[in-house]
Structure 1
Amino acid sequence: MFKAASFFRIADDFTLPPPEALEEALQASHFLPCGATQPESSGWVPPRGNKSTVLAEKVGGQLIVRLCTERRPLPASAIKDAVEQRIEQYKQETGHERVGAKIKKEFKEEAIHSLLPRAFTKRSSTTLWIDPVNKFLVVDSGSLTGADKVVSQLLEVLSQVPGSSPGLMARPVQTTMSAATAMAHWLASQEAPVGFTIDRDCELKMPDDQKSTVRYSRHTLEIDEVAEHIAAGKVPTQLAMTWNDRVSFVLTDAAQVRKLKLLDVVLDGMQDKGKDDDGFDADAAILTGELAVLIPDLLEALGGELAREASASSTNGANPVPELAAA
């Protein structure tokens, strides 16, 4: 269900809206495929898949929704060729040797409009989980930029639900210590934080124009060479870790989690699924249950979460990030 995770903090006074009202708001923004000349379309789809029509799934008090996005990507080279053809035709028809910027812009718009109907579409979907008890919003994305866009659309929908708090906000979780600083300390000291182990994959990058990079794959990291790279100025940008022998993942320098995977000790505890059960409820309950404990442990390993009133004015080593608010 989740292959990555970006964490957002929602307001303490947030409560889930009535299921019927939320479902109606999501249905009003349900996914529709791109039109012939539409470059992108996004909307909500059933988290259970095509066999369901429900857009807001509640499992054990948790809310799960899914956003689908369809794009018609156009190669830059195809647009350039089409524009150049129009420019040449314009020169021949008018006798002008120079073409103004305004006309070139019009040609580009015409080229895109004519090419879009022939472009293949690509779809992607992103799952979002709202934990109303611990006040977390988790997005299945290893990119904060991508997660921001999805969260903004969810907040827009929530703002349309009757009775919802105006100005509902969500902000990326900020910690006292940046993930890069924490990973550098763990690697240099060869000591993982409590409850975690360091695995065998890592990326170190020099924070300069050259961006010199060293990668270790399936290689022990308990060696002096790693500490020497850090002492020379290289910064950890990715580090494979395992939490309590239950969940493995890759932590990034932006404090996002990628390559999220439940381990056998968790999967073996799952009960056999019934014949008529699509497995969604069991998968959702297990995954959210694990993440609900992993997230606070990870934040503690990063020095703890910044006080909410202080995070807006100071990040103390963490990357500053904007709050997202519903209109």
Structure 2
Amino acid sequence: MFAKNMIIYRVNRDVDFNADKLEQQLEEFKLTPCGSQDKQKFGWVSALPKGEMFTHLSGGHILLRSCKQEKLLPAACINKLVKEKVDYMEAQEGRPLRKAEKDDIRDDIVMDKLPTAFIKETFTNVFIFPTDGLIVVDTSTHKKAEDTLALLRKSMGSLPCIPLIPQIAVETTLTEWVKTGDVPSGYEIGNAADMKSILDDGGTVKLKNNELTSDAVHQHIEENKMVIALELSWQDRISFVLKENMQLSRVNFGDVITDQNEDIPREDVHARMDADFALAAGEMLALIKSLIDVLGGLPLLIKSHPNSP
């Protein structure tokens, strides 16, 4: 329930995130398991594992969960079977097969193997903060985040939102923090960073287990390298890596947070997950608001037309 990654979006016009209405909308696009000839399926599942509702509401925040099922057909295995069949057919007919014929053989083999293929499931949590007009997708890639938002947009009919990007470029602020060592109150710089030259042929540098206030790091900055990812901690509560695109990766909630619900028996799965969600959502929202503030605020939104997608 505690996010490992945070890709953040802001809603750019008023949207009614009514939980009851949303429940009905998600129902129409729930996950239907892969059939024998399906390669993959994508849809909504219960917000809490083993729960019954597609939405989970706590403290005004909403949790959703998508699931993607994919049939696992290793390319190396398929290629081997295709080659064996092609070699056999070419030997039988005494001629090389055309590309279209090889493609047909590949398609036949894939369809033959689909019913017995293993199924991989990938779950993605979506945290919605209606009052603040924010959405957080817990995934490490923008492709997966956009796929989940596309499903939510399809479910709701429309969802006008954009990535949350501060008014001042993130890399400009991060570089200044590392250069001066002067970070906002409540924040501490870790010992890992990625740096990239502003010059086309300047290259990149990945720093791990480094003292980022050292002369060597400052030399990189003098050589026109910008900090594009920086390990940070916030109030000794959450540590993370902040990237230039405002994505947070390697998010880790400290013991001061995760221990708060230890008095709830883990055997009471629903109560524990409900409490963890409420706690995680509150901390995530507080962190996002703090980041917006220390990174220079957000640009003004240009409100989209009510009928815009």
Instruction: Check whether TM > 0.5.
Output: yes
Residue in 2 aligned with 1:144?
142
Q: Which amino acid in 1 is paired with 2:144? A: G
TM-score normalised by structure 2 residue count: 0.87
Q: Name the amino acid aligned to 1:16.
A: F
Q: Which residue number in structure 2 is paired with residue 109 of structure 1? A: 107
Match of residue 215 from structure 1: 207
* Residue 289 (1) aligns with residue 286 (2): no
Q: CA deviation at 1:133?
A: 0.3
**For 2:149 and 2:128, how far apart are their aligned partners in 1?**
11
CA contact (8 A) 1:144 1:256 kept: no
**Runs of 4+ with deviation above 4 angstroms:** 205-212, 268-271, 274-277
Match of 1:309 among 289, 297, 302: 302
| Aligned residue number for residue 200 of structure 1 | 191
1:121 aligns with 2:114: no
After superposition, give the CA deviation of every residue in 1:196-218 in whole Å (9 maximum; x if it has no partner).
2111222335575795533213x
Q: Distance in 2 between matches of 1:38 and 1:188?
A: 53
Distance 1:296 1:91, change over 3 A: same
* Residue identity in the other structure for 1:49: P
The answer to whether structure 1 residue 278 and structure 2 residue 274 are counterparts is no
CA contact (8 A) 2:4 2:138 kept: yes
Instruction: State whether structure 2 residue 262 is matched by structure 1 residue 263.
Output: no
Q: Is the 8 A contact 2:61 2:129 kept in 1?
A: yes
* Aligned-residue offset at 1:57: 0.8
Q: Aligned partners of 2:197 and 2:93: how far apart in 1? A: 54
Structure 1 unmatched runs, 5+: 160-166, 313-324
Instruction: Give the aligned partner of residue 6 of structure 2.
Output: 5
Q: What amino acid sits opposite 2:67 in the alignment?
A: C
Cα drift, residue 6 of structure 1 = 0.6
CA contact (8 A) 2:39 2:114 kept: yes
Contact 1:178 1:255 (C-alpha < 8 Å) held by counterparts: no
Give 3-state SS (helix, strand or coil) of 1:139's partner: strand
Pick the aligned partner of 1:169 from 150, 154, 160. Answer: 160
TM-score by length of 1: 0.82
Q: Is the 8 A contact 2:194 2:204 kept in 1?
A: no
User: Which residue number corresponds to residue 180 of structure 1?
Assistant: 171
Match of 1:82 in 2: 81
Output the CA distance in 2 between the equivalents of 1:272 and 1:59. 19
- Comparing 83-92 and 287-296, the one that deviates more: 83-92
**Is contact 2:192-2:207 (8 Å) kept?**
yes
For residues 289 and 128 of structure 1, what CA distance do their matches in structure 2 show? 14
Structure 2 CA distance, aligned partners of 1:71 and 1:210?
Answer: 40
- After TM superposition, the structure 1 stretch with the greater mean CA deviation from structure 2, 268-277 or 243-252, is 268-277
Identity level (%): 26
Q: Secondary structure at the match of 1:55?
A: coil
Are residues 116 and 238 of structure 1, via their aligned partners in 2, closer, same or farther at CA, if it must alter by over 3 Å?
farther
Q: Give, in angstroms, the shift of residue 95 of structure 1.
A: 2.4
Distance 1:108 1:35 in 2: 20
What root-mean-square deviation, in Å, do the aligned CA atoms of Structure 1 and Structure 2 show? Answer: 2.6
Q: Give me the whole-angstrom Cα distance separating, in 1, the residues matched to 2:73 and 2:196.
A: 32
Distance 2:243 2:30 in 1: 32
Deviations 1:214-257 (A, max 9, x none): 3213x432211112123334443432111122221111232111
Distance 1:180 1:35 in 2: 46
What's the secondary structure of 1:278's corresponding residue? helix
Gaps of 5+ in 2: none
Question: Which range moved further: 280-289 or 134-143?
Answer: 280-289
Give yes or no for contact 1:143–1:256 (8 Å, CA) kept in 2. Answer: no
Q: Matched residue of 2:168: which SS?
A: coil
> Is the alpha carbon distance of 1:221 and 1:133 closer, same or farther for their aligned partners in structure 2, counting shifts above 3 Å?
same
Contact 1:194–1:301 (CA under 8 A) maintained in structure 2: no
Q: Aligned pair in 2 of structure 1 residues 85, 209: CA closer, same or farther (>3 Å)?
A: farther
Look up the match of 2:30.
30
The size of the alignment, in residue pairs, is 302
